[in-house]
Amino acid sequence: MKIIIFVDPNRIEKYKQYCDIPENLELIYLSQSTSDAEVLECAKNADFIFADAIKEISGYLIPNMPNLKLIHSEGVGFNRIDIEAAKRNGIYVCNNPGVNSGAVAEQTIMLMLGLQRKLIWGDHMVRTGKQIEAKESQILEGITELGDCHVGLIGFGAIAKETAKRLISFGTKVSYYSRRRDSQEMEQEYNVEYMPLEELISKCDIISLHVPVTDETKEMVNKDFLNRMKQSALLINTSRGELVDQEALKESLIQGKIAGAGLDTLTPEPVTLENPLLTLQPEAKGRVIFSPHIGGTTEGAFRKMHQGVWNNVRRVINGQKPVNIVNGS
């Protein structure tokens, strides 16, 4: 049997010691830039695909691989895989939900604090001999503590719950919106209250995105959404770049419609220098903190993700149904 791997070979090598990789399985490493035609030319008869979450697995490729049984995302995201094409062809599509929830929650809070404390700007000021000037500026402007904020979580899955859990220690008021309201017991456990979306957008000091990319959520943060936010509010996105209309966010930052944005993810990836949020004028540039989509990339998270992939491959080889199926096969 053969498996196509659209993941850096160094990652496979690093984490294989924690995994039970099936014997007699041929590993075929291909780069993420490999075209569908090239894949079919060299590995058309592969049984499995192990893909980085940002690798597209197209509706053309899937039906042209007659032995394909399982497509597995390395991480949580699977929006780049044509799950309907896989379903039509009886192919499992699986992901690794929840394994990096704590890691992404830490990144979410780091971006909140980094924006509130103007971390990047302050670092630059100290390095350029302007420590006192920076200190006095922030004292006069005022630094808001996280415990004095009302944080709104859009989506209330595993990552949002882990974020809420960590915010308890700051004394932060936390509200959430989800298409389906959670149970009263769950709300009490995480010290959160449900709030309709329109109200959450207009009332919260920090809005953090925790939803998958769907037709409904794509560019949900648009001009209208941003105009309804408080002028002093911060936007945090550790989910997917496709959730945000980046041109609209750029204009909101330039015009001072919102106070800032902390972004662990942009679209498309790999990020290019033409991205509108990388071309902000100097006065708006300081209102944004970027991180290179590393929220869920801790060693612990990757160890669990790779274990999940190889365990599911072994299940399929043994004629068993894999876990964490996302396309209902």
Give catalytic residue positions: 240, 269, 293
- CB atoms < 10 A from the CB of 77, how many? 19
- CB atoms < 10 A from the CB of 57, how many? 26
Sheet of 234-237: strand order equals 192-194, 173-177, 150-154, 206-209, 234-237, 260-263, 288-290
The structure tokens listed for 244 are 């945000």
